[in-house]
Amino acid sequence: MSIGRTKRFRGIALAAITSTAVVAGVIFIQTGAEAEPKPNLDQAKAQVAELQEKAAAAGEAANDLRGQITAAQIRVKALQAGIAKQQAQVDTVKRQIGSLAVAGYQTSGMTTTAQLLLSTNPDQFLSQASTAQAFAGQQNSALRRFQAAQGKLTDLQASEQSELAALEAVKAQQQALKKQLDANVAAAEKVLDKLTDAERAKIRQEQQEEVEKAQDERKRASRSNDRMDEEEDPGPVPANGRAGVAVQAAMAQLGDRYVWGAEGPSTFDCSGLTKYAWGKAGVSLSHSSKAQFGEGRRVSRGELQPGDLVFYGSPVHHVGMYIGNGRMVHAPNPGRPVKTDDLDYMSGYTGAVRPG
């Protein structure tokens, strides 16, 4: 066997061994994963809650890109309008050059000296020659205008392509975050799949009870003269003006389902809920918890008033609305409805702002 064939054989053999090892490794990993002990109910709940929080955080990171996408779309639209206007100017100058070229061609058959010698009226010819020089000047001026207009058009077109590329990159980044959200939700479902039918039924029952409790709280909040039992969660502290309108709007959504990117009227994510509620009060907010953190006056925790927005995470990835008595209304994550919670229901309190 030749040296070349020997090397090729060794290479093929090595690749086959490596491939077998990879397959064996995958099988081993999969077998190991399948052999993991089934979590008990409390462990499963903790795992699902963590995955749902991660899903919500990924969703808010995707929401944070909304402003960049909107700004890029506005810039692209402005550039496209400028390109259309500049193209019209280029076309106008081109028509002018065409007209001047035709007129110039009609008098370019012989030299100026020849035309003077053959002219029956030299004085008249010299006058016409002066006019021809002015005409040539117009041609040069038109050519310069065309070059400038065409150069500006090329610059605008290049800027448009650059903005479009940047826009597509941000959209791709947002889509990747959305996939991350979906992956976390799917992972939570896989955890639930490991439980028994009875355990899954218990979790579904608890989730339904949480929805019903939030809906009952919404009904009580809408009846301002009614008193809640001492054992039940205290309702929102009365608030006036726009803050009062925002609190009422947020409390009216209790029990509604969490959906990423939704801002009403019946499904919400966290920043979608606060945007919707303050929108009812005539205050425009971004659909992003990170952006909303900069859209109001900062207030300390001791200064909190109903309607203030409270934020969590570093970087910020969750927002709720303070309703008084140390509580807030918020859209927690894909596994929970719009509900009220204690301000310390999750760690990582970042700060608060007062919109409007």
Catalytic residues: 270, 318, 330
Cα 192 from chain centroid (whole Å):
31
Other CB atoms within 10 Å distance of the CB of residue 2: 7
Question: DSSP character for 314?
Answer: T
Residues 6+ away with beta carbon under 8 Å from 73 = 167
**Adjacency order of strands within the sheet including 297-299:** 297-299, 349-354, 309-312, 318-324, 327-330, 339-342
CA–CA separation, 337 vs 353, rounded Å? 24
Other CB atoms within 10 Å distance of the CB of residue 218: 19
Using DSSP, state whether 251 is helix, strand or coil. Answer: helix
Hunting for tokens 């726009």 — which residue is that? 242
Burial 121-155 (b: 16+ CB within 10 A, else e): eeeebeeeeeebeeeeeebeebeebbeebbeebee
Hunting for tokens 């550039």 — which residue is that? 79
Q: What value does the CA radius of gyration of the chain take, rounded to a whole number of Å?
A: 36
Q: How many residues does the chain have?
A: 356
The pair of three-digit structure tokens given for residue 127, joined into one six-digit string: 């006058």
Cα 311 from chain centroid (whole Å):
19
Are residues 242 and 282 in contact, defined by beta-carbon separation less than 8 angstroms? yes
Provide the residue type at 66 as one letter: R
